[in-house]
Structure 1
Amino acid sequence: MGCLSCFTSSEKKAAKRQTNSCRNDQPCNKTPPTIEVFLPQQHPPETIPKPSTSETGNNNIAAETFTFRQLATATRNFRQECLIGEGGFGRVYKGKLEKTGQDVAVKQLDRNGLQGNREFLVEVLMLSLLHHPNLVNLIGYCSDGDQRLLVYEYMPLGSLEDHLLDISPGQKPLDWYARMKIAVDAAKGLEYLHDKANPPVIYRDLKSSNILLDEELKAKLSDFGLAKLGPVGDKTHVSSRVMGTYGYCAPEYQRTGQLTVKSDIYSFGVVLLELITGRRAIDTTRPNKEQNLVTWAQPMFKDPSRFPELADPLLGGDFPLKGLQQAVAISAMCLQEEAEVRPLIRDVVSALSCLGNDPDANTASSGSASMESDGESYDDELGREERQRAVAEAMEWGSNSRRNKAQTHSAVL
């Protein structure tokens, strides 16, 4: 796993992405909240379900309420030197809680933003009800007069964008295994939202700037202001005004406003492609034919011999060829035009799970795993079986789409 030499420039951006999710809710300490406050158009008020998870066991809000004075103290009166990010809905400051000494990220909502206030409600409700190691932890919030603030755990390495797309001079790029581990972590967070939350939650804003990293490069999803409860009963989708970030939105959602969990799968495919290529989803500084990442990559999806052309030049060719082939194949499946033939997130997690394992790290820790001559695999029987199973699953997905069957089969072999 590649280490990052320092976090000076990144710390200034650290919660720039945390800023994109400013929202709050009315004070609720012990009673489970209903979701009608942010989904009035999705369900009649009397029938709105409450998200629940098998892992938390209850719906109680665990977030702490803070006064504005407490958060002003934590951020040294919101001094400029504590500012670590800015976004569409406000500013984020690094702070230290007086009671516990814990470092936190404090997001201050722009008081003039009406949409931001609605998203503030969604964020508090969602992150108070949903808990997972790969979701950013909401510590508390402030609804004091016209002030709306959110308090998160502090993520010292900032966002994936900071280390993949906004690399400072002299900053060490993420190595292949770090990238794949981040992909696995992000997929696990999404799996929790899709498969463990009941009803499922559609994230709707998955992008590299909303994937935050801790000091060990563990990735967590942040910014839940655009999240929606998924369809319940016999409904196949939820309808919504089209929102999100251009370049990451699924084509069917852009056309119709109809959301499903497969909309998130498309966004994940874009993020995975960013991890592979080191390119932005949309980059207007590139030649016209290369500005849209998916459009640029699609011709190469059809020819496995061209997969190495997709690899980020900053990797310097230091990646396992079979691992690259499988990662590209997974991304291509997630990016299929027809939503119904995209894989489920649980299958994505399964297929990606072995790609984040660095053979060098395994060798150093156990002394029992030896790499083969091509550096693409090692003599760990369990790891090999895992890889074979993941490849078989990837091949099975490919068979679901006639158009992509031949190219996908070649990609993962």
Structure 2
Amino acid sequence: MEKKIFGKTLALQYLICLFFLLSQITGTSFSPFSDSSFSHPPSSSPPSNLHPSSSRASLRRILLGILFGSLTGAFASIVFLFSIRLFILFANRTPILKGPVIFTPKISPKSLKVIFPGNDESLQMLGSSPNGKYFKLALNNEVTVAVKVIESTYSSGSPGTNSNSWKRKVQRELELLAKVSHRNVMSLRAYVRDHDRFSLVYDYISIGSLEDAMKRVRLNRLRLGWELRHRIAIGMAKGLKYLHFEFIPRILHYNLKPTNVLLDEGFEPKLGDCGLARLVVAGVDSSISSCYVAPECFQSCRYTDKSDIYSFGMILSMLLTGKDPSDPFFMEEMGRGGLGPWLRHLQQVGEAREALDKGMLGEGEKEEEEMLMAIRIALVCLSDLPADRPSSDELEAMLTQLHSF
């Protein structure tokens, strides 16, 4: 913008100088006392000296021709450059793609026809949430993928939802998510858009979400020791660090919670649904669990990378305590608040050990000390002020160094 303003100012100054020079020349030529015939008698000089005004008139015409030629050339150049710029912008405009949009050769457009509206019965449902349904789909080439079907909560009458500019914006964001490449972040493999419905195709993760794993832990159907939970926390921090600092342009998650953290066979976490809430959810929607949303998102609707850190702190607290942040226990115990205030209260009164998941106690004195240090990290992430929370790269270093204490 500053370059454009500078260019316009320079062109204006150039025109002013040209007009000033033109006025000076014309002012001299029309002086009523410039003709020597009124002040001197005729002389016997050669004919070339009899009419000096004729020489000035010729010079004036030459200069006027140069000036007007320069002005015309400058104007024509501006019009030409402007036309070229418009042509380039039009040529580079993102076309609106129709049908399945695929980012990997492992998937064919024909194999995705089954995920169009009306064919949900032929898909194997894995689960559902307020903001979408999850399906398992086996493709013809024996590749298994996961399909998440979500509906945009923007009303049909809201400005821009049916405009080509809005469609291009969503398309660019989804293409950006397809370029994500990190072991701790889910990469978009394909998508199908039908009006306000989006069907997103990802790699299939057999273990499921962190939410499902922790439910099995509470029912004593799965044991997750501190070593695995610590590895999950570090992997999540690495994924956030990649999104916040390593990927260009930076991506904010906007909806980090246990259901959006997938676990592979080795319990390596993968962050899913990165940035989708901003595209398909109008504001802070009820589908985004309030337990994991930073307070500034409700107060000022401002979301930053530190808001992702708050959500991470809540998930880390869940890993350490084994408790669901939405458990009514916290309302009964604290009268208000939730897992964060309860954990902070125990830390302040010196009873942080009482908050640890009983299934992890007894693993060793060193491991217990690491867990207590991790509680401090979680509470820093849950600070009310975003500036008091660590960044994702600092968070990864803090969690990695726990083993060195």
Fold similarity call, TM over 0.5: yes
The structure whose Rg is larger is 2
Matches within 5 A, 1:237-386: 241-243=283-285, 244-284=288-328, 288-290=332-334, 292-303=338-349, 305-318=350-363, 320-355=367-402
TM-score by length of 1: 0.61
**1:288, 1:80 → 2: CA distance?**
44
**Distance apart, 1:66 and its partner CA:** 5.4
TM-score by length of 2: 0.62
Deviation digits for residues 26-82 of structure 1, max 9, x if unmatched? xxxxx9997xxxxxxxxxxxxxxxxxxxxxxxxx983567547635299xx644782
Q: Give the equivalent residue in structure 2 for 1:28.
A: none
Deviation digits for residues 333-379 of structure 1, max 9, x if unmatched? 11112211211111110111144xxxxxxxxxxxxxxxxxxxxxxxx
Q: Give the equivalent residue in structure 1 for 2:136.
A: 94
In structure 2, do the counterparts of structure 1 residues 124 and 199 end up closer, same or farther at CA, with 3 Å as the change threshold?
closer
Letter in 1 for 2:383: Q
Q: Give the equivalent residue in structure 2 for 1:177.
A: 227
Q: Give the equivalent residue in structure 2 for 1:217.
A: 267
**Distance apart, 1:92 and its partner CA:** 1.8
Letter in 2 for 1:176: W
Letter in 2 for 1:255: Q
Q: Quick check: 1:62 aligned with 2:103?
A: yes
**Distance apart, 1:134 and its partner CA:** 0.6
Deviation digits for residues 191-243 of structure 1, max 9, x if unmatched? 011111233222121111111001110100001254569xxxxxxxxxx9335
Task: Give the 3-state SS of the residue equivalent to 1:276 in structure 2.
Answer: helix
Task: Give the 3-state SS of the residue equivalent to 1:298 in structure 2.
Answer: helix
In structure 2, do the counterparts of structure 1 residues 204 and 109 end up closer, same or farther at CA, with 3 Å as the change threshold?
closer
Matches within 5 A, 1:115-154: 124-143=174-193, 148-154=198-204
**Higher relative contact order (CA closer than 8 Å, sequence separation 6+):** 1
**2:398, 2:318 → 1: CA distance?**
18
Letter in 2 for 1:314: G
Q: Which runs of 5+ in 2 are unaligned?
A: 1-90, 95-100, 162-166
**Distance apart, 1:143 and its partner CA:** 3.3
**Distance apart, 1:150 and its partner CA:** 1.5
Task: Give the 3-state SS of the residue equivalent to 1:259 in structure 2.
Answer: coil
**1:135, 1:324 → 2: CA distance?**
25
Report the count of equivalent residues: 291
Letter in 1 for 2:355: L
Q: Is the 8 A contact 1:85 1:92 kept in 2?
A: yes
In structure 2, do the counterparts of structure 1 residues 92 and 121 end up closer, same or farther at CA, with 3 Å as the change threshold?
farther
In structure 2, do the counterparts of structure 1 residues 146 and 201 end up closer, same or farther at CA, with 3 Å as the change threshold?
closer
Q: Quick check: 1:163 aligned with 2:208?
A: no
Q: Which runs of 5+ in 1 are unaligned?
A: 1-30, 35-59, 230-239, 356-382, 389-413
Letter in 1 for 2:127: G
Q: Give the equivalent residue in structure 2 for 1:105.
A: 146
In structure 2, do the counterparts of structure 1 residues 81 and 252 end up closer, same or farther at CA, with 3 Å as the change threshold?
closer
Letter in 1 for 2:312: F
